[in-house]
Amino acid sequence: MGLDFDMGAPAAALRSQLRELVKEHVPEGFLGAFTDDPTDLEAAQRFCRTLATQDLLCPAWPQEFGGRGASVWEQTVVREEMWAHHEPRGAQYMGVNWVGPTLIRYGTEAQQRQHLPPISRGEVIWCQGFSEPEAGSDLASLRTTARRHGDGWRISGQKIWTSYATMAQWCFLLVRTTKVGDGAVQKKQQGLSIFLVPMDDPAIQVRPIRTMMGPHHLNEVFFDELRVTETDLLGPLDGGWSIVQDVLSFERVGIARYARCERLLTMAPQALGDRWEQLPEELRARWVRMLLHCRRARLMAYRVVSLQSSGRIAPGDAAGYRIAVTTLDQDSAEVLMDIIAEVPRDDAPTAYYRAEVEDHWRYSQSATVASGSIEMQRILMSRALLAGSR
């Protein structure tokens, strides 16, 4: 099949370079950094440093912040190749894809000097303190509160579903700083602020949530009178909601889910060998349909990247892409599981491919919930369409 979009010679060369680096530095049988084997995380951290030494961890960042001023399309190639190969950067994609760009846009000079160089070198892991037990999709209803105390604030409350909290050094934390009804704060989206807090503070407690996705993915985080100051505040006080919209925009396009789907689907005939021709015709028809959906999601991602780079992205644009790519993640996983079910489990030649498919299926189960449920994405999309029709 031909490419849907020509990103240019530099992007094509970068894609080849990244595949060679993965082949050379990522261990055989790697299925991601967050397994029960600690050597997988160590391999991911080493690979991040390898990318950083070649200016490939965050190439599209400005040079003064640790990048090399590459195009957004080269950064897109990095996203695609990393996600297609089970994200050998581990948790670093969070810092690279949205914590760093948000700091570049909203951070003070001191915050940028402190945080951006370690991210660009692959030396620090971030987690994101957004969702709460009663504020997931309706994030603005969160209850974690920062109250004034001397020359700073004291934060108390709970976050949940916080990925990488057990290993992160820093948290990008959203809290309420002004109650609804106080002063000019009349809506729940107002009165929210973002603080950058160190995870080693004794006022923070992390409790892992075990799931079939493996360790580190999901955690509860408790804040008990955590002290923060003005220097920890990102952006304006009570102005966190507008920053969150940018964060979610970066986040939702930052994971190139379609790239892994397409790679696993494309590999199926080779992985099955002679058994491929014996598959039911209906199953192979579903396989073709999923490949088409991969191309659709890819092109939607490219549209969002283009809009994002020009500063014209709206919530409806990111929501439309998110709906397409998360449903693709789950639908392709079901097709791939049905394909691999046609092969005996003890078939050695397909063992690693089977493991890749099963890992993809496990991860896909949360796709339509994570980073904003698909129901909320449909609401955003509907609002955008209705607003455009007036």
Does residue 342 form part of some domain? yes
Does residue 39 form part of some domain? yes
Half-sphere exposure of 260 (CA within 13 A, CB side): 31
Task: Return the HEC string of 188-230.
Answer: CCCCEEEEEEECCCCCEEEEECCCCCCCCCCEEEEEEEEEEEH
- Kindly tell me if the per-residue pLDDT of 385 is higher than 80: no
Residue 64 annotated as catalytic: no
Q: What burial class does residue 337 get, using C-beta atoms within 10 Å of its C-beta: 0-12 exposed, 13-18 middle, 19+ buried?
A: middle
Q: What is the mean pLDDT of residues 289-311?
A: 87
- Catalytic pick among 74, 80, 251, 356: 251
Q: What is the mean pLDDT of residues 309-319?
A: 70
- Kindly tell me if the per-residue pLDDT of 251 is higher than 70: no
Q: What burial class does residue 65 get, using C-beta atoms within 10 Å of its C-beta: 0-12 exposed, 13-18 middle, 19+ buried?
A: buried
Does residue 2 form part of some domain? no
Does residue 3 form part of some domain? no
Q: State whether 70 and 58 are in the same domain.
A: yes
Domain count, the chain: 3
- Kindly tell me if the per-residue pLDDT of 165 is higher than 90: yes
Residue 44's domain spans which residues? 9-124
Q: What is the mean pLDDT of residues 46-67?
A: 92
Does residue 246 form part of some domain? no
Of 19-28, 140-149, 379-388, which gets the smallest average pLDDT? 379-388
Does residue 248 form part of some domain? no
User: What is the residue-averaged pLDDT of the chain?
Assistant: 89
- The pLDDT score that the predictor gives to residue 216 is 66
Q: pLDDT over 70 for what percent of the chain? A: 92
Does residue 250 form part of some domain? no
Q: State whether 105 and 152 are in the same domain.
A: no
Q: State whether 54 and 82 are in the same domain.
A: yes
- The pLDDT score that the predictor gives to residue 2 is 45
Q: State whether 134 and 60 are in the same domain.
A: no
Q: What is the mean pLDDT of residues 338-358?
A: 94
CATH number of 105's domain: 1.10.540.10
**Which pLDDT band holds residue 254 (cuts at 50, 70, 90)?**
low
Q: What is the mean pLDDT of residues 82-93?
A: 90
- Kindly tell me if the per-residue pLDDT of 319 is higher than 90: no
